[in-house]
Amino acid sequence: MIPTFVIFLREGIEASMIVAILLSYLNQIGERRRFRDVFVGIAVAFGLILAGGVSAYFLIDHYNGSNVQAYFETTTYLIAAAVLTAMTFWMSRHARTMSSELRGRSDVALSKGSRFGVGVLAFQAVGREGLETMVFTLAIIFASSHQGPTPHGNLLLVGALAGLVVATAISVAIYRLGAKLNFKIFFRVMGVALMVFAAGLLADAVENLQQLGWLPFGRHVLWNTSGAITEGSNLGDVLHSLLGYADRPTVLQGLVWLAYLTVCVGLFVSVGKARPKRHTQRVA
């Protein structure tokens, strides 16, 4: 539940920020008639992403229990971790200039006189965030499906819906308050949290690859806590989702998890601390 809440909240806010800035700018320049184009672009993006996600899930589930499913799941884990890391660093670099960049792109779209220019802009923004969310959600569903007969599906759905509700509420605030909202701290905290999730997904990918025999080294079990907290239990599910906990992790799983967090989170935090200093010097 918690991973899907954080992911849908984070991605929902990023998408809604873009849409809210776009709507606010159109309202300021007297182009409210373009609101419909924006909403059409959003609806088309949602429809395509939802159809693609459901199709991908049932396609992979069709091979349940086979090596093909393991291939698909492992690929999903790796793509989700890579995209999540990349977009977290991207957002850290572009958060301050997002509004001005979007306004510039809106001016270009409007100047071309295209009926669907602004709608395409909204489609691209929401589609990109939706595609990322779909990949992350599939990865979490696959990871949770291996942890026993707990009601993971319902909890994941509740978390996703709660994240969307909160993101929608915040998007309304963005539209009403405009530039008065500052999300620097929010995206930094969410970035670190999502990187912890990504570390767990990488560890799951390593586990699959070792079971497939593609990584025949580092298979010694670091510890066995299955007698106390199994991954299939409610507490084990929470720990696995939040921290990448495994009741019988291998040496390679542990090394990959630790290396990823040390390097990526360290870089992300250091970049976040260094950037404001340069910004302050420019203002002065």
For every one of its 284 residues, what pLDDT tens digit does the chain have, with 9 covering 90 and above?
677 787 888 778 777 777 877 887 788 888 888 888 888 988 998 899 889 888 888 888 788 778 888 888 899 889 988 988 888 887 777 666 666 777 777 777 777 666 577 888 888 878 888 888 888 888 878 777 665 544 455 677 787 888 888 887 877 776 666 545 556 777 777 788 888 888 988 999 999 999 889 999 999 999 999 888 888 777 787 777 777 888 999 999 999 999 999 999 888 888 766 655 444 444 33
> 3-state DSSP call for residue 110?
helix
Q: Which residues of 131-144 are buried (b: 16+ CB within 10 A; e: fewer)?
A: bbbbbbbbbbbbbb
Please list, in sequence order, all residues whose beta carbon lies within 8 angstroms of the beta carbon of residue 259, skipping any fewer than 6 positions away: none
221 - beta bridge partners? Answer: 250
CA distances from 251 to 41, 74, 213, 222 (A): 47, 18, 15, 6
Q: Distance (Å, rounded) from C-alpha 53 to C-alpha 58?
A: 9
> 3-state DSSP call for residue 264?
helix
pTM: predicted TM-score of the whole model, two decimal places:
0.75
State residue 153's pLDDT score.
57
How many domains does the structure of the chain reveal?
1
Q: In terms of residue numbers, what domain contains 107? A: 2-283
Residue of 109, 131, 118 whose CA lies nearest to 40: 118
User: What distance, in Å, lies between the first and last C-alpha atoms of the chain?
Assistant: 45
Q: Which two tokens stand for residue 87?
A: 């977009």
DSSP 204: H
State residue 252's pLDDT score.
95
Dihedral pair phi/psi, residue 113, rounded to 5°: 75, 15
Q: Distance (Å, rounded) from C-alpha 118 to C-alpha 121?
A: 5
| CA geometry: angle 100, 14, 198, nearest 5 deg | 130
Residues 191 and 92 sit within 8 Å (Cβ to Cβ): yes
